[in-house]
Structure 1
Amino acid sequence: MGKAETRAHLARADRLQGQTGALATAATAAMEEKLPWFRGLSAQDRSWIGLVAQSGITAFVDWFRDPEEHSSMPTRIFGSAPREFTRVISLHQTVDLVRTTIEMMETAFDDLLPADDVPAVREAMQRYAREVAFAAATVYAQAAEMRGAWDARLEALVVDSVIRGEADDSVRSRASALGWTGAAGTTGSAEVAVVVGRAPAAEGNANVADAVRHAAREAGADALCAIQGDRLVVVLGGTSKPVEIVQRLAHWFGPGPIVVGPVVKDLMAAVTSARAAVAGLRAVPAWPAAPRPVQADELLPERSLSGDGHARRQLATEVYGPLTVGEGVLLDTVSAYLDSGGSIEATARAMFIHANTVRYRLKRVADLTGYQPLNPRDAFTLRVALALGRLLNPEPGNPVL
């Protein structure tokens, strides 16, 4: 560029700079006229957006004056906005702002600049607009990356608090910040259940938390997810049927069993579900034929054998206890049935009663405990429950401790 062309270009830049105030005012007016959502923002947010627009116009003038010296200017125009800027408006809305401002400026050039200046300024504006678009995308990408990393740490902290039994109002607040509603989902339920399984391989767990949350949301439930060492922990909310939800999430877990803790009333009580699920994962190898997923309460005998005191008390209280009422005839009958190898006839002979009486009493056992003595798996649970009940409460007919 010769000296004459340089002087002409600088003069054109001076004339453009003299109109920056008018352009900024016109940009704000265009936003209010063409963007309904802009009018709905608070005065402070509109002020910040106006400041960004003015910064962009000023930056364009500096870049137009000397593109080489100010080559990084398009990427710096968002520096005047606070960090919360990306939370106030979306990337799509930012694109609308840039488009509206550029259209306004291209129209205003005809009124504010000499006719000879307009073609060169418009051409420069087209090049500058592309750089601004890339800059906006970069700002939102960085914000999403930072927010994603922070959310992942916060989510891991919430899940760890649930597992450790330290859930309180602060945990509820943190969960709410992650999108946990704590309200009834599409199933009409607000209950919570904790799910524990093996974590996927390291190369496959980068996006597992996002995938689990998305799949749970599609199924009508809330989900918090964290990888703790070699296990994947998911806290499900808003469903009274967590097993059905987990069946849709199972492929995101690593190979091996998945244990679903019992449903509890809310996040504050989730430690009960978490404790049962963790104990179940530890004990499930003792039942090779366990379904996937398996409920923690289906593993009560294995959990008892592995040292889970809660499972022992649950079997003694909820299974053995009801059988001791009255004269203990149900306890004697199911005990004789199990000792006879599951033969109704042998039980009847040993107790000097009719076989139909045995059948009636075994049905009563199933009604009271939820375990059917004629089912081999349930019979195993009953045998363990009887052994535990006798250990914890050696006097039949007395309340189980």
Structure 2
Amino acid sequence: MWTAKNDGKPPTGAERPDTKTVWECGEMSGASVGLSAETLEAVERASGKLASAAVAAMEAQFAWFVRMPADQRASVLLVAQSGVAGFAAWLRDPMEALRMTTDTFRGAPRDLSRWVSLRQTVEMVRVSLKIFEEMVPDLAANDEDRALLGEAVLRYGREVAFASAMSYASAAEARGAWDARLEALVVDGIVRGDAEESLLSRAAALGWDPGAQATVLVGNPPSDDPPTVVFEVRSRAARVSRPVLLGVQGSRLVVVLGGPTEDGADREVMGKMAEAFGEGAVVAGPTVASLAEAHRSSADALSGLRAVVAWREAPRPVRSTDLLPERALAGDPEAEFQLIDRIARPLEEAGGSLQETVEAYLSTGGVLETCARQLFVHPNTVRYRLRKATELTGRNANDPRDALVLRIALAVGRLSRARGLW
């Protein structure tokens, strides 16, 4: 250090270190680049004045700053004063630059980022640095100090800009990590069948409308990398303008899709969302009225995912209601109940030998004349009864897939009645 070598007197001529080398290496104090003690003291004494001038310039230029409450503007003033104090300390020890500027903004995001955006922060830093550039050089004791102070303001401004950006980036990362954990809790609660108010409040905190319709889709994730999965699902959801909640649970991806999915273009939305899944089947549960009922959609979708392997020609995505036969064969009691409630019971309660006609038509392999002879009726009567059965159940006995559903439903109905459950 020159202070020891020259008895406390600044070096002159060839003894003075190269300014660029000192700034880049940061191995010497502020005095080592030629700033006199008078200049350093003047900067320290003017810290309050500089901070007040910066805040005054913000009030003059930004209408949003004037509208801020007094306590919030006071917080900004404190941060500005800390920044000026850090500048004075930085002039004495450039090695402390990063630590000083980071400490200045360490507590700011917890308070300021709630009501000051990153764009507004950049504007405030720009105005503050402009005030620095105008006022700090006047604090120099001589012309040489003036030039060095001008360069110091630029370099310190760079440190402040990076420190503020890093603070907001850290706050954004923390917020993103918290949102991801909260979203995982909501999806897990839906899968487990929770319908508590805590689940709805968590979903509301994520921006989800608890009263919106919801459909649960399950399948394989497109990648083993969670960020990639999140990007794929959210990007496709953004394209169809639908809210989503998602969670990767081991080898399966669970997506809660907001909005209707039953008719027309709404049904096409599900097909586009299925593209965000990996290879394999994608099963969609029924669309429910609100998030509080999403556990029913989830249970049906997961049951369908376990049973979809039995239907090789299943579309993608496939509705859980279209997998009722396979789910019933896999032992799902809910699927058995739905088959009875939607098909077996309506046919029996309709009377007019509808159930007998459907069973006879299926047992004869769909041959109309043979069925008519077996029932001792005219073929037109069989046609009428089959049309009536289609209106009641939504299943056409002439369609191979619907014929399988009808056959399984009638068999499940007979088994249930034999067990005394119906």
Instruction: Tell me the TM-score normalised to structure 1 length.
Output: 0.91
State the alpha-carbon separation in 2 of the partners of residues 389 and 82 from structure 1: 63
State the alpha-carbon separation in 1 of the partners of residues 72 and 279 from structure 2: 49
Q: Which residue of structure 2 lines up, in the alignment, with residue 187 of structure 1? A: none
Counting only pairs closer than 5 Å after superposition, residues 86-105 of structure 1 correspond to structure 2 as 86-105=113-132
Amino acid at match of 2:101: P
Larger radius of gyration: 2
Q: 45, 51, 59: which one pairs with 1:24?
A: 51
Q: 181, 190, 193: which one pairs with 1:165?
A: 193
Q: Which residue of structure 1 lines up, in the alignment, with residue 249 of structure 2? A: 228
State the alpha-carbon separation in 2 of the partners of residues 39 and 126 from structure 1: 27
Amino acid at match of 1:235: V
Is the CA contact (8 Å cut-off) linking 1:261 and 1:295 kept in structure 2? yes
Amino acid at match of 1:199: P
Is the CA contact (8 Å cut-off) linking 2:218 and 2:253 kept in structure 1? yes
Is the CA contact (8 Å cut-off) linking 1:52 and 1:80 kept in structure 2? no
State the alpha-carbon separation in 1 of the partners of residues 231 and 69 from structure 2: 32
Question: Is 2:176 aligned against 1:148?
Answer: yes
| Shift in Å, 1:150 | 1.7
Q: 257, 262, 270: which one pairs with 2:294?
A: 270
| Shift in Å, 1:140 | 2.0
Is the CA contact (8 Å cut-off) linking 1:373 and 1:382 kept in structure 2? yes
State the alpha-carbon separation in 2 of the partners of residues 334 and 80 from structure 1: 74
| Shift in Å, 1:111 | 6.0
Question: Is 2:323 aligned against 1:317?
Answer: no
| Shift in Å, 1:67 | 1.6
Q: What is the count of residue pairs matched by the alignment?
A: 391
| Shift in Å, 1:286 | 0.4
Q: Which residue of structure 2 lines up, in the alignment, with residue 77 of structure 1? A: 104
Q: Which residue of structure 1 lines up, in the alignment, with residue 10 of structure 2? A: 4
- Cα distance, 1:80–1:268 mapped onto 2, change above 3 Å: closer
State the alpha-carbon separation in 2 of the partners of residues 168 and 211 from structure 1: 30
| Shift in Å, 1:200 | 2.7
Is the CA contact (8 Å cut-off) linking 2:210 and 2:292 kept in structure 1? no
Q: 272, 279, 286: which one pairs with 2:303?
A: 279
State the alpha-carbon separation in 2 of the partners of residues 380 and 268 from structure 1: 33
Q: Which residue of structure 1 lines up, in the alignment, with residue 24 of structure 2? A: none
Q: Which residue of structure 2 lines up, in the alignment, with residue 174 of structure 1? A: 202
State the alpha-carbon separation in 1 of the partners of residues 141 and 64 from structure 2: 35
Counting only pairs closer than 5 Å after superposition, residues 236-315 of structure 1 correspond to structure 2 as 236-241=257-262, 243-315=267-339
Instruction: Tell me the TM-score normalised to structure 2 length.
Output: 0.86
Secondary structure of the equivalent of 2:95? coil
Q: Which residue of structure 2 lines up, in the alignment, with residue 197 of structure 1? A: 219
Counting only pairs closer than 5 Å after superposition, residues 29-48 of structure 1 correspond to structure 2 as 29-48=56-75
Is the CA contact (8 Å cut-off) linking 1:243 and 1:293 kept in structure 2? no
Is the CA contact (8 Å cut-off) linking 1:336 and 1:347 kept in structure 2? yes
State the alpha-carbon separation in 2 of the partners of residues 16 and 219 from structure 1: 57
State the alpha-carbon separation in 1 of the partners of residues 239 and 115 from structure 2: 26
Secondary structure of the equivalent of 2:110? coil
Secondary structure of the equivalent of 2:365? coil
Q: 374, 382, 390: which one pairs with 2:398?
A: 374
| Shift in Å, 1:57 | 1.2
Q: Which residue of structure 1 lines up, in the alignment, with residue 20 of structure 2? A: none
State the alpha-carbon separation in 2 of the partners of residues 320 and 118 from structure 1: 94
State the alpha-carbon separation in 1 of the partners of residues 98 and 370 from structure 2: 94
Is the CA contact (8 Å cut-off) linking 1:74 and 1:131 kept in structure 2? yes
Structure 1, residues 367-394: CA drift from partner, whole Å, max 9, x if none?
Answer: 1101111100001000011111122235
Is the CA contact (8 Å cut-off) linking 2:261 and 2:269 kept in structure 1? no
Is the CA contact (8 Å cut-off) linking 2:109 and 2:171 kept in structure 1? no
| Shift in Å, 1:342 | 1.0
Q: Which residue of structure 2 lines up, in the alignment, with residue 340 of structure 1? A: 364
Once the two structures are overlaid, the 10-residue window that deviates more, 21-30 or 256-265, is 21-30
| Shift in Å, 1:234 | 0.6
State the alpha-carbon separation in 1 of the partners of residues 395 and 55 from structure 2: 72
Is the CA contact (8 Å cut-off) linking 1:220 and 1:238 kept in structure 2? no
Amino acid at match of 2:214: V
Structure 1, residues 121-158: CA drift from partner, whole Å, max 9, x if none?
Answer: 22101011111122122212222222222221111111
How high is the sequence identity, in percent, across the aligned residues? Answer: 46
Q: Identify unmatched segments of 5+ residues in structure 2.
A: 12-30
Question: Is 2:88 aligned against 1:61?
Answer: yes
State the alpha-carbon separation in 2 of the partners of residues 197 and 307 from structure 1: 20
Secondary structure of the equivalent of 1:206? helix
| Shift in Å, 1:280 | 0.4
State the alpha-carbon separation in 2 of the partners of residues 278 and 358 from structure 1: 38
Amino acid at match of 1:283: A
| Shift in Å, 1:301 | 0.7
Structure 1, residues 244-271: CA drift from partner, whole Å, max 9, x if none?
Answer: 3232222321210000000111011111
- RMSD over aligned CA atoms reads 2.3
Is the CA contact (8 Å cut-off) linking 1:243 and 1:260 kept in structure 2? no
Q: Which residue of structure 1 lines up, in the alignment, with residue 28 of structure 2? A: none
- Cα distance, 1:122–1:219 mapped onto 2, change above 3 Å: same
| Shift in Å, 1:210 | 4.0
Is the CA contact (8 Å cut-off) linking 2:137 and 2:149 kept in structure 1? no
Q: Which residue of structure 2 lines up, in the alignment, with residue 209 of structure 1? A: 230
State the alpha-carbon separation in 2 of the partners of residues 39 and 28 from structure 1: 10
Is the CA contact (8 Å cut-off) linking 1:55 and 1:80 kept in structure 2? no
- Cα distance, 1:84–1:159 mapped onto 2, change above 3 Å: farther
Q: Identify unmatched segments of 5+ residues in structure 1.
A: 184-189
Secondary structure of the equivalent of 1:252? coil
Question: Is 2:386 aligned against 1:362?
Answer: yes
